[in-house]
Amino acid sequence: MNVQGEIRADASARVRGTIWGVGLGPGDPDLMSVRADRLLRRARHVAYFRKAGRPGQARRIVEGMLRADVIEIAMEYPVTTEIPLTDPRYNALLSAFYEDCTAKLRALSEEGHEVLVLAEGDPFFYGSFMHLFTRLKGHAPLQVVPAIPGMAAAWCATGLPITWGDDVMSTLMATLPEAELVRQMQNADALVIMKIGRNIDKVRRALRAAGRFDDAWLVEHAAMPGQSVQRLSEAEGRVTPYFSIVLVHGQGRRP
């Protein structure tokens, strides 16, 4: 074999690095899994999502846990707040963003580097990591570390069980059309409503229409600094922060 052939053979035999989707849990580092903690403290490459100009919630959670020589890869979301979700440009912009992030991670993997992608909550539960996973599958070794989702921390913060017996629980996005929110709220026993933020007034109207408003709780920054727990009726007229969840507890069968 000539020298050029040997170089090609060496390149094809190179071991690709694993890309890990590491769930960090709801926000308190004490609620992180032992596996996630162990991986983070030895990692050489750590990637995380954030808004431009901000450190990012995932990065905040792991503050003080990373090696001094860690290489950080900040994946900054494109500005999308001025584009409606129904506008085709919204998906096109995000798709291009995820393709770019995927290319960077795949290149690191092909160079033999192991990369940890930080995921708030659980990596496979409404998170951005899923969009990388589907694009990387078949092109790089992948591992996922599960974690406590933020909604679990929220319902524990209320001090009340979220479901009993045969209760049906629905997880709803506040970005859904109002009529769909009402329908789902009427059909489920227990409710978890996420992505509140600017949609809070729509959520209030939908809960009232479904006859569930008086039983709703608002949890802000669950398992994070500044956690707040109150009846939704006590937060009338207020815009909620991004890390907010509205809950309605089930009242099902009990022994």
With H, G, I as helix, E, B as strand and everything else as coil, classify residue 35: helix
Query: Which among 240, 242, 185, 203 has a CA at the least distance from the CA of 57?
Result: 242
What was the pLDDT predicted at 26?
96
Both tokens of 192, joined, read 């978890």
Per-residue pLDDT of the chain (255 residues; tens, 9 = 90+): 454 554 454 545 679 999 999 999 999 999 999 999 999 999 999 999 999 888 999 999 999 999 999 999 999 999 756 566 677 788 899 999 999 999 999 999 999 999 999 999 999 999 999 999 999 999 999 999 999 999 999 999 999 999 999 999 999 999 999 999 999 999 999 999 999 988 999 999 999 999 999 999 999 999 999 999 999 999 987 778 878 999 999 999 999
Give CA–CA dist 58/75, Å, rounded: 11
- Give all strands (DSSP E) within 37-162, no chain letters: 45-50, 71-76, 115-119, 142-145
What was the pLDDT predicted at 2?
56
Question: What is the set of domains in the chain, with CATH numbers?
Answer: 3-148 (3.40.1010.10), 151-248 (3.30.950.10)
What was the pLDDT predicted at 203?
97
- CA 112 vs CA 2, 15, 65, 68, 152: distances in Å: 25, 6, 23, 21, 36
Sign of the Cα torsion 119, 121, 124, 127 reads negative
What was the pLDDT predicted at 1?
47
pTM of the model: 0.89
